[in-house]
Amino acid sequence: MNEDKLKKLMKNFKQRNIEVEYFESLEDVKSLILDMVPIESTIGIGHSATLQKMDITNLLLERGNIVYDKELAKNREESKELKRKALTTDWYITGSNAISVDGRIVNVDHSGNRVASIIYGPDKVIIVVGKNKIADTVDDAIKRVKNVACPTNAKRAGYNPPCVALNRCVGCVGVCNILSIIEGQTDSNRIKLFIVNEECGF
Ligand code: SF4
């Protein structure tokens, strides 16, 4: 990754009270998460292809953490309950649809549980993003979310909005229900942004 760009990004996030760490591989991120998060903590997981690649839910469960991950649900009611419990955990771990060099974290959610947990509730939040999620400005990050992340996610989730065929957003309703931009934090120890020098997720 371009060193100047990374330095600028780190400086801009620091000014907004968001701590950034850079990693060469997802394996390194996984080791740090397992070291950093106490075994006695409760953990919420936001759906993310990047986290699934790390198999982080199973690793945390196996060593004794209580983990609320909607992917563990056997039905809709269980999924709702897991998402609700994840809102008040000690730690929340997730990915993001895009971040910008100018210091913003941008996400689109269908139901809003993931962005709600990032915004408020869990004491600490870890967001893991691959280098492919970095845009220059907040406007570019929104464009990435709408034209790259949303069509791919909609397809994965079994929806068929117009962007799946067109590969660009035409602004339909009912799928991308919540657009969130994290501009900063009051507590500098709350959100940790882990950037990986790999292509992760979409
Ligand atoms: S076309 Fe609809 S589903 Fe696709 S990115 Fe735009 S708002 Fe989201």
Q: Is the CB of 144 under 6 A from ligand 1?
A: no
Question: Residue 103's domain spans which residues?
Answer: 3-134+177-196
pTM: 0.95
Number of domains in the chain: 1
Task: Evaluate whether 184 touches 118 at the Cβ level (below 8 Å).
Answer: no
Does residue 140 lie within any of the structural domains? no
| Higher-scoring residue by pLDDT: 160, 68 | 68
Query: Which atom of ligand 1 is nearest to 145's Cα?
Result: 5
pLDDT value at position 201? 85
Show the tokens assigned to 135.
């845009």
Q: Which amino acid is at 81?
A: E
CATH of the domain at 102: 3.40.50.10420
pLDDT tens track for 140-163: 999 999 999 999 888 888 889 999
Q: DSSP secondary-structure letter at 170?
A: -
pLDDT value at position 159? 86
Q: Is the CB of 36 under 6 A from ligand 1?
A: no
Does residue 46 lie within any of the structural domains? yes
HSE-up of residue 47 (Cα within 13 Å, Cβ side): 18
Distance CA 42, CA 88 (A): 9
